[in-house]
Chain A
Amino acid sequence: MSQPLPSANASTSLQVRHVRKSFVSGQVRSTVLHDLTLDIRAGELTLISGPSGCGKSTLLAILSGLQRADDGQVIALGQDLGVLGARALERFRLRHTGFVFQGFNLFPALNALEQVELPLSYLGLAPAEARRRAMASLEEVGLGPRTSLRPSELSGGEKQRVAIARALAKQPDLLFADEPTSALDAANGQTIIDILHRIARTHGTTVLCVSHDPRLVGHADRVLAMEDGRILSDRVPPSPSTPATGFEETP
């Protein structure tokens, strides 16, 4: 890596040190991540972009504690994820992380409010508090009036907003989004990226977004371009986005 080793400071929430990862398929061993080192700061929307197969999703999985690195160190919120066992990793994720996936992964049987409440109940919150937080999150993503609708009654953009509200309601320090706009049209994609950006700004959350969607580049605080398991560039886009205020969308 050509980058100097960044020093950890108060706003650095994720530190990656010399992380390697490779997969074996049959006789072939392919390296997905080559000795990666980087820092990601809180209160920012960091975008990792690159062509498919560049290792960006693997990086996200390792940073979020869903997968383990073969080598190197990942320190999230001051905690070395490599030393945590499976149960401890689950607890870490429960307390600190939120996820938004490309597929919305909502339970067909639950309405929007219940989707958001569901993980909160495992946090040990009182039912009234869980409901209050779920309502607040849904209002924050502009779905206040549609809380009683099931996924089948929501548009794609609305489903993704429910998924964001589900992640946001936990009040996570780290929010990971994997291709959150890939399944959406331009307007809905715009809405989603604005919401993610605003979450980083207003909650001080570390938002790490992985996408090959070029529309998102202009909206991120920082863009890391990846290719072949290496980070090629680390830059601040010229025109930072201003989060939109409305949530009008075309279903």
Chain B
Amino acid sequence: MVALARKTLVYEWRRFLPAILAVCFAGLLQLLQAALVLGIFGSASVYITGSSADLWAGYPGTQSVNLGRSIDAGVEMRLRMDPAVAAVEPFHWVDADWRGPNDTGGVSVFVSGINTRPDGMLFAQALPPALRARLNEPDAVIVDRADLDSLGVGIGDSAVINGHRVRVVGVSSGLRALGGVNVVASLATAATLDTDPSNANRMTYFVARLHDPGQARRVAVRLRGDRAFGNYDVWTAKSFARRSRLYWIFDTGAGAGVLFLAGIVFLVGAAITSQTLMAAVIGSVREYATLNALGVGVGALRRVVMEQAFWVGLLGLVGSAVLGAVAMAFARSRNVPVALGPWTTLACLSLCMGLAIVSGLAAMRSLHRADPATLLR
């Protein structure tokens, strides 16, 4: 079989280049905007993804980790009673007001009261044991290095949270959150900063480590809905992180923005690609008509056009994957939050292949001009 589609593509590459570039840049645009949105809003779940816990127990219906309400402290016992649970740890969340030594005004902060033992689950990745141990000092807090400026402090400086004096004993990275500045303290410090009297004997979350993390989903189902300890629910870390991210993506309208832009990119890309493919078909219309005169069916000619669309799509995809990888590496080197999972990548690239296929279908319609009778004059 003579590979007409491929040979034409190679020989007349200049003609197909606009279509390949259109697919390539459509793909790149999709990948980067998805990576940016997921990267920025991924920090909404930094409490969950930065911790090593398998299960999270919190107030029923909590839509995002920063919206937690306190649950009965007895839930800890309920979790410990389950044979699959290896360890349980409280997480005290306090919405607070920060006043630094410099003139930064009030800053809204989230205080995370965590277990300071070396094997603590919360912020296990961001806080190495030595740094974590410093939280044992009374009124010690740790913040992200990138937040020092907005808090108006340096290491060793003092500040006031909810009227209590605290001291910054260290900085780390990977603590940046969305919607406010994240301040990490010990459970004891956090308790002194929590001014809400109704939170006595209650805790925002309990997190648990399982003997077998693979059982997380089953154990979560088993643990939830036990009314003896008041209202609480149990989620796997993965589903709670996902729920927090989605809450932010859709609550802020960013999700709708992404979908809208994806639609625009698709339309613009399809317009350019289909026009280019159409021009290629019309450029060869006399040759196609000759083939049809010789008895080659219209279906076979359509396959040639679709094959060209496929190769254009594939080349465009390779281009956007390469450029996307370069752009992602550059963004990471500049601390721009980007995150891209395999499924999102696949979805973006499929959209581009869909764009090429739709363009091919549109270009196929130009084949009706390949009427062999018009060759006879």
Q: Using a CB–CB distance below 8 Å, which chain A residues touch chain B?
A: 57-58, 60-61, 64, 66-67, 87, 90-95, 97-99, 101-103, 105-110, 114, 117-119, 121-122, 127, 150, 166-167, 170, 178-179, 210
Contact = CB atoms under 8 A, between A and B. Distances in A.
Given A109-B7, A109-B8, A109-B10, A118 B2 contact: yes
- The main secondary structure of chain B at its interface with chain A is helix
B300 interface: yes
A86 to B, nearest CB: 9
Which of the listed residues B287, B295, B296, B373 has the most CB atoms from chain A within 10 Å of its own CB? Answer: B295
B338 to A, nearest CB: 41
A46 B158 CA distance: 107
A51 to B, nearest CB: 13
Contact of B284 (A98, A107, A117, A170): A107
A166 B376 contact: no
A93 B4 contact: no
Interface string B1-30: 110100110111000000000000000000
Given A105-B375, A108-B12, A170 B294 contact: yes
Interface residues of B, number: 27
A109 B11 contact: yes
Nearest to A117: B2
A208 B259 CA distance: 61
B373 A66 contact: yes
Given A57-B377, A114-B2, A121-B1, A99 B293 contact: yes
A195 to B, nearest CB: 18
Contacts of A102: 377
Interface string B349-377: 00000000000000000000000110111
Contacts of B297: 87, 90, 94, 122
A107 B376 contact: no
Which of the listed residues A87, A91, A93 has the most CB atoms from chain B within 10 Å of its own CB? Answer: A93
A168 B1 CA distance: 18
B290 interface: yes
Contacts of A95: 295
A117 B290 CA distance: 14
Interface in B273-301: 284, 286-287, 289-298, 300
Contact of A94 (B8, B296, B373): B296
Contacts of B294: 93-94, 97-99, 119, 166-167, 170
Nearest to A170: B294
Contacts of A105: 286-287, 289-290, 375
A57 B10 CA distance: 36
A66 B376 contact: yes
23 contacts: A66-B372, A66-B373, A90-B296, A90-B298, A94-B297, A98-B294, A99-B293, A99-B372, A101-B293, A101-B375, A107-B4, A109-B4, A109-B8, A109-B12, A110-B2, A114-B2, A118-B2, A118-B4, A121-B2, A122-B295, A122-B296, A122-B297, A170-B294
Nearest to B10: A109
A109 B27 CA distance: 29
Interface string B229-242: 00000000000000
A214 B111 CA distance: 99
Nearest to A57: B376
Nearest to B300: A122
A183 B273 CA distance: 35
A157 B279 CA distance: 28
A97 B295 contact: yes
A107 B8 contact: yes
B373 A110 contact: no
Contacts of A108: 8, 11-12
Contact of B291 (A58, A64, A114, A118): A118
Given A118-B4, A119-B294, 14 more contacts: A60-B376, A90-B292, A90-B298, A95-B295, A99-B372, A101-B376, A103-B286, A105-B375, A109-B12, A114-B7, A117-B2, A121-B1, A166-B294, A170-B295
A150 B7 CA distance: 12
B295 A91 contact: yes
Nearest to A106: B287
Contacts of A98: 294
Contacts of A92: 295
Contacts of B284: 107
Contacts of B2: 110, 114, 117-118, 121
Contacts of B376: 57-58, 60-61, 66, 101, 178, 210
A150 B10 CA distance: 14
Contacts of A57: 376-377
B41 to A, nearest CB: 48
Contacts of B300: 122
A250 B311 CA distance: 41
A105 B373 CA distance: 14
Contacts of A99: 290, 293-294, 372, 375
A110 B11 CA distance: 9
Nearest to A179: B377
Contacts of A90: 292, 295-298
A92 B291 CA distance: 14
Contacts of B375: 99, 101, 103, 105, 178
A162 to B, nearest CB: 12
A66 B8 CA distance: 27
Contacts of B293: 64, 66, 93, 97, 99, 101
Nearest to A127: B1
Contacts of A109: 4, 7-8, 10-12
Which of the listed residues A61, A117, A179, A210 has the most CB atoms from chain B within 10 Å of its own CB? Answer: A61
